[in-house]
Structure formats: structure tokens, C-alpha cells
Amino acid sequence: MRQQIAAANWKMNLTLQQGEELIDKVLNAGLTLKEQQSVLFAVPFPYLPMTRQKLGGKPGYFACAQNCYDKKSGAYTGEVSAEMLKSIGIAYAVLGHSERREYFKETNEMLASKIDLCLENGIRPVFCCGESLHVRESGNQNRFVEIQLRESLFHLTPEDLKKIIIAYEPIWAIGTGKTATTAQAQDMHAYLRLVLQDHYGKELADSMPILYGGSVKVSNAHELFSSPDVDGGLIGGASLVAEDFIEIIRSLK
């Protein structure tokens, strides 16, 4: 079975102490992860060492960065490189979140560089893609998301593509309380798998985790994650409430 993932995206929320408390609650919830299940905590950069330390190598639990820069090193004040993340033992990074694409003008091309730098440093990217409401209303969502994949991922060798986790996040569903229907999520995930299959073959396409993100909550997680091509979720708001995130983890296949 494909890897099934519940990834918490804290964004720019929580103090260190609140973050510590939240992770403690999740770790003490008595969850038993199945072999294929993983839980990621995408936390602000300063909290990565704390997160790693708390998770203490517990199988299936990983600290995850929310970003990294698209250059190797140098005079880029305030930025964090993939190599720096590697040097503190980080194995996952969210890349291309729609907030970064929108507010920080990240392009598909920049994301291709970030992907390469992460892979060079042994970090698995959680690559975010997804369309705006305008694109969805014009019916061009499949083509739009396909281009995001092609321009940021399709230069990769099959060996490298295997390390990518895709997160489909329709922008109109992020932080809005408006979730894609299970059918909308499943349709896009199945389409993306076909696009991957066309370029890389069925076996590889079938092996890749594709997460859904956009107002995942306790009330809809189980149904969304039950869809054949939905392999878990990238969760913003609901991951800030330990009890909710715990229930969402319990909803994984």
C-alpha cells in the first residue's frame, strides 16, 4: 500500500511552548501507526530542533520544514537552505504552498530548483499544487495543475520522482472552511496520477502519495481519505488543535 500521510502545517502560528504542548498531546494519544502511515509536523524553522527532539525518532513521525530557499548558499539574508535543514536532521520539506506562491511570488521554475536542492540533500519534498477559484470556475483546473507538475517535477529522473509527495490543495479551499467535495478531490488526484503515468509509467504513478489539502477537518477527513487516490492530507487550521489532529490521523487508511 502507498504511504498514507497526515501532515500538519502550522504556518506562522503557535509559540514554542504551545507547539511543545501540542506535540506532547499527539504523542500521548495512544495512536498506533500502521506500517504505511506517517505523521509530519511542518513547523516554523525555529521549532524544527524541538520537534525533532520531541519525536525522538519515533517510527512514522517526522519534523518537516515549511520551505527552503532556491539557492545553495550565499548572501541571502534571512533565508534557509536545504543543506542547513539537512545539517539539523530534517528529512521533509513542504515546497510551493499556495501562500508562498501568492505572497512570495514563487514560480514553478523556482520550485524546480528548490526540489533539486532538497533531493540533493536527502530531503523529501511535499510539493503543493492547486488552482484558484477563477481557474476552477473556468473549468481549466486539470490543465493548470498539470502544468505545475510538469514545470517543477518532470525534469526529475524516476528515481528522484519516487521521493516526492504531492499535495493537491485547491486555493479556494485553503483556510476558507470550504472543502473540495470528495468527488472533486478524487477526480483531480486520479487525473494527476494519469499525468504521472503518461510520463513515468503506471508503476511509479501508482506508488506516489498524493495528499489532499484544503479545510480538512475531523468531520470530513475519513470520507476524503477513503477515496482510492487520496493518500492523506496536508492540514492547516485543524492541525493546531491537538484533539482534532489526532482524530484526523486516526482517519488515515
Residues labelled catalytic:
97, 169
Q: Give exposure, 150-182, as e/b (b: 16+ Cβ within 10 Å).
A: eebbeebeeeebeebbbbbbbbbbbeeeebbeb
| Least distance between ligand PEP and beta carbon 99 (Å) | 7
Is 64 a binding residue for ligand PEP by CB under 6 A? The answer is: no
Cell triple for 50: 524541538
Cell numbers 472552511 correspond to 177
Is 9 a binding residue for ligand PEP by CB under 6 A? The answer is: yes
Point out which span in 67-75, 114-122, 228-236, 242-250 binds ligand PEP (CB under 6 A): 228-236
- How far, in Å, are 126, 134, 151, 207 from residue 202 at the CA level? 21, 31, 20, 8
Please identify which residue in 235, 242, 249, 252 interacts with ligand PEP, judged by CB under 6 A.
235
Give the Cα separation of 97 and 95 in Å (integer): 6
Is 234 a binding residue for ligand PEP by CB under 6 A? The answer is: yes
Per-residue mark of binding to ligand PEP, 170-189 (x: CB under 6 A)? ----xx--------------
Give the Cα separation of 156 and 200 in Å (integer): 10
Site for ligand PEP in 84-123 (CB under 6 A): 97
Nearer to ligand PEP, 19 or 236 (CB): 236
Give the Cα separation of 246 and 253 in Å (integer): 14
The residues that touch ligand PEP, with contacts defined as CB under 6 A, are: 9, 11, 97, 169, 174-175, 213-216, 234-238
